[in-house]
Structure 1
């Protein structure tokens, strides 16, 4: 539940920053400051590996609010879902350690939007995640890129997704929800 309270807090703080500083460009790197709390650590006394993904969500909300994308999503009755993510750990975050979550939009392909989040301490990367998200309509269906860019404009200077990100997206994909996906283990 504490991540829910943190989410509401950072959503509020992002809105306040927009009022004070204005919106940021879609290609901007946004930063929020966090502290590793007792509820974030595991038995080894460092941040639990699953908690990173929850805290990176805070960075994603900050990015969506500060670019104005959350307003468009609310107006259009859209929402985003994470369809895949991969995380790489380099160093552990310890109890009470302050760190920044840096977030940026990497780009898009024909079906998804890609973002990167980093846990950074004093300019040094501790962990990094690549996120693949799809935009969905509350009434059902997927938001096409044509609909998305008609609503928000196509961001300038967004590079093509790196080949390895496309390969990862294909390799990690599960079957569509309209296809069977039996849990069968192979030897």
Structure 2
């Protein structure tokens, strides 16, 4: 028994030293949970919520509130859940494609205290031929306060169909919403940044 136990402990310690093991475990759990326990399909225009809890693994140097980088990581799980519950993942994956996050911006309004329950609300707010734009809100359950808002640009890759085609297959006849003013500015910023970098390259 001892001859197996100590090498196993060493392997686990090495894995934790080299990889963010908890992240991969949670990804596996999130995706498996949706496959094992299906939920009612939601419309692609719906706001989809997942819930979280700020632990000591999430805090920054002051050990009082969530590290800024953790907000970005939590969005992975919010997107996974949104894709599965709306059917986007099935349509894109069935055609050999995937969705790549190509831009994100976070506006922090107030810190997320440690040992706080929160939800992340994810909603599709606009799309163009190549990408879908999601808005995420981090909301504390105790006071329903929006602690942070996030824009993320999800680009469809490996597909021979536009974002319009993907959305129309999932929700035929859905009308494209008008881009909010703040999102329009953000899209222009991304385009300007891309153009600037192309000149440098």
TM-score calculated relative to the size of structure 1: 0.82
For 1:134 and 1:149, the matched residues in 2 are separated by 13
List aligned pairs for 1:1-187, cutoff 5 A. Answer: 1=20, 2-17=22-37, 19=38, 21-45=39-63, 46-122=65-141, 123-137=144-158, 143-149=161-167, 151-154=169-172, 156-173=174-191, 174-175=193-194, 179=198, 181-182=200-201
Q: Aligned pair count?
A: 176
TM-score calculated relative to the size of structure 2: 0.77
For 1:93 and 1:9, the matched residues in 2 are separated by 24
DSSP-derived class of the 1:40 partner: coil
For 2:199 and 2:160, the matched residues in 1 are separated by 20
**Runs (5+) with no aligned partner, structure 1:** 183-187
* Residues 136 and 143, structure 1, Cα contact 8 Å, conserved in 2: no
**Runs (5+) with no aligned partner, structure 2:** 1-19
Q: For each residue in 1:112-137, what CA deviation from the matched residue of structure 2 results, as whole angstroms up to 9, or x when unmatched?
A: 10001111112211111011111000
* Residues 109 and 161, structure 1, Cα contact 8 Å, conserved in 2: no
* Residues 112 and 133, structure 1, Cα contact 8 Å, conserved in 2: yes
* Residues 43 and 171, structure 2, Cα contact 8 Å, conserved in 1: no
Runs of 4+ more than 4 Å apart: none
Quick check: 97-106 or 154-163, which moved more?
Answer: 154-163
DSSP-derived class of the 2:77 partner: helix
DSSP-derived class of the 1:116 partner: strand
Aligned Cα root-mean-square deviation (Å)? 2.3
